[in-house]
A and B are shown apart, each in its own frame.
Chain A
Amino acid sequence: MRGWLYLLSAAVAGAIITTPALIVFVLGGGSVDDALFAALATLMLTSALLVVTMRDIIRCGLAMIVAFLALAGIYVVVGAPLVAAAQVIVYIGAISVLILFAIMLTQSKAGPARLVFQTQAASAAVAAIILVVLIALAVSATDWGEASSRVRLATDTLARVLFGDYVLPFEVVSVLLLAAVIGGIFIAKREDEPT
C-alpha cells in the first residue's frame, strides 16, 4: 500500500515539474533549452521551498541535494560546465554530506520539534514576497548591456585565466580552506578530553 503511495506522489511530482516545460515548449514555441530551463527552474524552486517548509529536517537535507542538482543543470544550460561539475562535487559531494552528518549528530530522540517556525514566520513570509517582487522589478527595469545570447566557456580558457590572472586569489582560498579545516576541528573538539 505504501509503495503505491510513493509511486503516486512521484508521478504527481513529475507532472508538476514537467508542466511548465511542456507549456514553454508547446504553447510558447520555445527551444529545447528553454524547456530544459523551465523544468530545472521549477524543480529547483519547488525543492528549495520544501527545504524551508518541511517538518522533518533530514528530508529538508535531501530536498536540498535535489535543489543543488537542479542548479547544476541550470549551470550547464547557461554555459558554464566547469562550474556545474564543481557544484556537483563541492555541494552535493561535500557540503550536503557534512550537513547530513550534523543533522544526525544533533537530532534528539523525540523526533522533529513540534514547532518548526519561529513566531515571526508570517512577517518573514511577507518580507520575502516583497523582496522577490522588488528584485523582479529592479531586474526588468535595468539595462544590463548584455549580449543577445549566452557564451559557452571553454574549460582550457578558464584554466588559463584561473592560473594566470587569478593565481593569487587561488592561493589565498587554499590557505582559507586550510584555516577553516583546522578551526572546525578545534571548535568541534571535546573539551574534557586530555590534550
Chain B
Amino acid sequence: MGLANSLDAYLVLSGALFTIGTFGFLARRNAISMLMSIELMLNAVNLAIVAFGSFIPSLKADGSIIALMVMAVAAAEATVGLAIIIAIYRNRKTPLVDEYDAMRR
C-alpha cells in the first residue's frame, strides 16, 4: 500500500486542505473566519512544499527552508490582517464582512 511513501497521497491531502480553506474563505461571513481559512490554505501549500522537498532528491534541504520562509510570511500576514480587522471593527462595530458597505453607498 505505502501511503506514507507516496508523494501523491501528500499532494492530494494538501489539495483537500486547500479546498476546505477555499470554501471557508468564500462562504463564511465573519472576517476572522475568512482569515482562519486563509491560514488553512497557507498550511496546505506548506504541506505540498515540504512533501516535494522530501521526495525529490535534487531539492535536498530547499523544500524545508522555503516552508520556514512561508511560515514567517504567514505570521506577518496574520498580524497585519488581524490589525486591519480590529481597526474596521472599531469603526463599524461588526465583524461580518457583508455589512462593510461604506464604499457601496
Contacts and interface: CB of A to CB of B under 8 A. Distances in A.
Interface of A: 24, 28-31, 33-34, 36-38, 41, 44-45, 48-49, 51-52, 57, 60-61, 64, 67-68, 71, 74-75, 77-80, 82-83, 86-87, 90-91, 94-95, 98-99, 102-103, 105-108, 113, 115-118, 120-121, 124-125, 127-129, 131-132, 135-136, 139-140, 144-153, 157-158, 161-162, 166, 169-170, 173, 176-177, 179-181, 183-185, 187-188, 190
Given A116-B28, A132-B19, A136-B12, A79 B54 contact: yes
Contacts of A185: 83
A44 B17 contact: yes
A61 B64 contact: no
A152 B54 CA distance: 7
B4 A37 contact: yes
Contact of B79 (A157, A170, A180): A180
B28 to A, nearest CB: 7
A45 B72 CA distance: 24
Interface residues of B, number: 78
B35 to A, nearest CB: 7
Contact of A82 (B9, B33, B64, B93): B64
Contact of B86 (A71, A105, A144, A161): A105
Interface of B: 1-5, 7-13, 15-24, 26-33, 35-37, 39-40, 43, 46-47, 50-57, 60-65, 67-69, 71-80, 82-87, 89-90, 93-96, 98
B75 A131 contact: no
A176 B98 CA distance: 31
A28 B13 CA distance: 19
Contacts of B3: 24, 30, 33-34, 37-38
